[in-house]
Amino acid sequence: MVFVAGCDCPTVPNRLTSELPDPSSNRGLLLLIAEYEALRRRFNAGRAAMVEVLRKDESTE
């Protein structure tokens, strides 16, 4: 990771930038799929919320 002197930039934790090991068992694969599904649902909910906000903004103009 590169650090810039005098920068107030947030640092990215290593767990977000390091590669994940290959799942070596069914349990590892199931955990990976569960994490993916949780993220997919969260992002879809975020997209739906943004659409709702943008539609409300359009209707007020």
Q: By CB neighbour count within 10 A (0-12 exposed, 13-18 middle, 19+ buried), where does 6 fall?
A: exposed
pTM greater than the 0.85 cutoff: no
Whether the predicted pLDDT of 5 surpasses 70: no
User: Is residue 47 situated within a structural domain?
Assistant: yes
- Residue 52 within any structural domain of the chain: yes
Q: Give the model's confidence band at 39: pLDDT under 50 very low, under 70 low, under 90 confident, else very high.
A: very high
Phi, psi (degrees; rounded to nearest 5) at 7: -95, 135
Between these two residues, 31 and 2, which has the higher pLDDT value? 31
Judge whether 48 lies within some domain.
Answer: yes
What pLDDT does residue 54 have? 87
In a domain, 13, yes or no: no
Is residue 31 a part of any domain in this protein? yes
Does the pLDDT of residue 37 top 90, yes or no? yes
Q: Which domain holds residue 28?
A: 24-60
For residue 55, tell me if it sits in a domain. Answer: yes
Place of tokens 């569960």: 34
* Number of domain units in the chain: 1
Higher pLDDT, 2 or 40: 40
Give me the helices (H) in 1-61, please.
14-17, 26-60
